[in-house]
Chains A and B, each alone.
Chain A
């Protein structure tokens, strides 16, 4: 976001669950809309059926050829049934967080590194704003 920029908007939220197969492949959680940019500004994830073990992290990122990471929760924090807030002091990497993604890009939940095989699925709750028409 440019210096001295400000966004006032209604907070939207997407909640759900992605199986490990979906997270490994990338599951769209907010579909792309032409001309509309998304700003991720909060949320959490929770691993179910086991901890995140093989993947390096579980990311909320853009659904693009080269995904832009908004927030990455490292496997060290993604223990079974533990809610990990995106605002946690450790084991969370916030890259494009609170900043505009490119217009027209959707959001996905995606594992990074080796495909995850230990946890069975991941619950997610992502708060975001929309910018543009």
Chain B
């Protein structure tokens, strides 16, 4: 949005999502009816290299989830930390920009072929602000 400035305290959520949770979608920031979420940074780390899926994403909780940031599986190699600000294999969609008020965040795969394969879990750290 042109000419905006938001001063805020940065929050952080970190954890691990199992493969099943990433496939189904795991809620990581619950919705707040009065707040909008802005993702400002973070990283992911797969345990076991990701394959089959297209990407592992941080998305909002709308019925058709809006991607904040997507990490292509090519980068999700066993044990490798992939920063959301990396120069390759990261897609910033609604990144640094407010999602719809009242929507939370989830970690959720995007796939055209059934789901994560050899990965057993994905660690995540997501920095965000609420406005």
Contacts and interface: CB of A to CB of B under 8 A. Distances in A.
Nearest to B95: A83
Given A30-B7, A88-B87, A125 B92 contact: no
B1 A17 contact: yes
Interface in A1-55: 10-19, 22, 27, 29-30, 42, 44, 46
Interface residues of A, number: 29
A85 B83 contact: yes
A127 B127 CA distance: 11
A13 B3 contact: no
Interface residues of B, number: 24
Contact of A13 (B4, B87, B90, B129): B129
Contacts of B5: 14-16, 27, 29
Contacts of A42: 41
B10 A16 contact: no
A13 B85 contact: no
22 contacts: A12-B7, A12-B10, A13-B7, A13-B8, A14-B6, A14-B8, A15-B5, A15-B8, A16-B4, A17-B2, A17-B4, A27-B5, A42-B41, A44-B41, A46-B95, A83-B85, A85-B85, A87-B85, A88-B85, A88-B87, A121-B3, A125-B40
A-B CB proximity, top 5 nearest: A85-B85, A16-B5, A13-B10, A16-B4, A14-B7
Interface of A: 10-19, 22, 27, 29-30, 42, 44, 46, 81-85, 87-88, 121, 123-125, 127
